[in-house]
């Protein structure tokens, strides 16, 4: 668990007085996440999630909270931010920006079936359609500019092979950025641990704090590279067909998206390889900090490069 700011029951109890959620019953740290401090909060009125934002720019937080509120109003099973008595979605706790959101039902499925993947694909398409009417704007915070700024900081930690791979893929992406694709708000981190299932139905989609405005196809590629691959990074054809087919049935892919698919899968692999390299080699001090192994997404990227001419797609 990534706890960087310790919150006591007494501190939280005082903080909750600004909300109409009852009194504190239980406070428990969440064993997930590397960007924020997260706690499960149970009160006499219900169950919530408390997030303290450790390094996200304060100016960007209204975009994330507003997007969640917008999607929840449109029937997407995502956390709904709770306003305090002054009608603010964002407050301060422990010297950090903080928000309280509803806690959703379900559990993470780490060994998904094609049926799970179909549910995820359809919901992702629903999220993209619902997000079209959201008025907030925020460029993908882990997009091309972030890649250019972050790569020089991790290169000194890499051996020659990985340096060549990183520099080569950065150059490839700079020359092959697809244009004219449909875009809007994207989750940009829809991994298995951010989807909660009740049996074979989705109970909730969580962690919107990497969201931004980007091409929808990039969001599909990020999701695909986690849900539709084996532990070694190789693609599972059945899960791939299920996710892409379900998405396509809700929001049909365009010809341009079909052409851009190989590039987007590589861009998604690069984004997570680079962020995991950064978190692994340049960690922040904290309590119970968890950093993912960057090698998994190095393999994913290399496999997407290898497979660029025979990638699965909607028939």
For 113-153, write each residue's pLDDT tens digit.
999 999 999 999 999 999 999 999 999 999 999 999 999 99
Which runs of consecutive H residues, i.e. helices, occur in 74-143?
114-131
Does pLDDT of 288 surpass 50? no
Find the Cα–Cα–Cα–Cα dihedral 218, 99, 23, 32, rounded to 10°: 50
Is the predicted pLDDT of residue 1 greater than 50, yes or no? no
pLDDT of residue 290: 60
Given this model, what pLDDT does residue 308 score?
Answer: 85
Give 287's pLDDT tier (boundaries 50, 70, 90). very low
The pLDDT score that the predictor gives to residue 34 is 65
pLDDT score for 259: 94
Span 6-44, pLDDT tens digits: 999 999 999 999 999 999 999 999 876 567 899 999 999
145-196 pLDDT, tens per residue?
Answer: 999 999 999 999 999 999 999 999 999 999 999 999 999 999 999 999 999 9
Q: Which CATH class is domain 114-306?
A: alpha beta
Q: How confident is the model at residue 100 (pLDDT cuts 50, 70, 90)?
A: very high
Confidence of residue 5 (pLDDT cuts 50, 70, 90): confident
Decide if pLDDT at 76 tops 80. Answer: yes
The alpha carbon dihedral of 296, 183, 104, 40 has a sign of positive
Task: Report the mean per-residue pLDDT for the chain.
Answer: 94
The stretch 283-311 carries a mean pLDDT of 83
Pick the CATH number of 9-102 from 3.40.50.970, 3.40.50.2300, 2.60.120.200, 3.30.200.20: 3.30.200.20
Look up the pTM and report it: 0.94
Domain segments of the chain as ranges: 9-102, 114-306
């Amino acid at each position: 668990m990534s706890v960087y700011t310790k919150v006591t029951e007494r501190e939280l109890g005082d903080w909750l007085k600004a909300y109409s959620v009852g009194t504190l019953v239980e406070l428990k740290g969440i064993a997930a996440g590397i960007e924020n401090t997260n706690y499960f909060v149970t009160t006499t009125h219900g169950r919530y999630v408390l997030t303290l934002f450790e390094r996200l720019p304060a100016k960007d937080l209204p975009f994330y909270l507003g997007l969640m509120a917008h999607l929840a109003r449109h029937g997407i099973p995502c956390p709904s931010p709770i306003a305090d008595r002054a009608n603010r979605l964002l407050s301060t706790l422990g010297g950090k920006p903080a928000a309280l959101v509803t806690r959703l039902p379900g559990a993470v499925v780490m060994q998904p079936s094609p049926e799970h993947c179909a549910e995820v694909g359809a919901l992702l398409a629903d999220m993209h359609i619902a997000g079209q009417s959201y008025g907030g704007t925020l460029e993908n915070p882990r997009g091309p500019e972030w890649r250019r700024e972050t790569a020089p900081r991790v290169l000194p930690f890499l051996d020659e092979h990985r340096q060549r791979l990183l520099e080569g893929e950065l150059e490839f992406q700079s020359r092959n950025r697809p244009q004219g694709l449909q875009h809007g708000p994207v989750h940009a981190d829809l991994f298995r641990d951010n989807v909660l299932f009740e049996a074979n139905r989705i109970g909730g989609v969580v962690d919107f704090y990497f969201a931004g405005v980007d091409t929808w196809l990039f969001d599909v590629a990020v999701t695909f590279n986690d849900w539709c691959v084996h532990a070694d990074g190789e693609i599972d054809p059945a899960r791939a067909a299920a996710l892409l087919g379900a998405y396509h049935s809700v929001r049909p892919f365009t010809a341009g998206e079909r052409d851009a698919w190989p590039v987007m899968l590589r861009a998604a692999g690069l984004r997570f390889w680079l962020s995991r390299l950064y978190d692994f080699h340049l960690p922040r001090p904290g309590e119970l900090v968890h950093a993912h192994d960057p090698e998994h997404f190095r393999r994913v990227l290399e496999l997407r490069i290898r497979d660029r001419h025979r990638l699965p797609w909607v028939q």
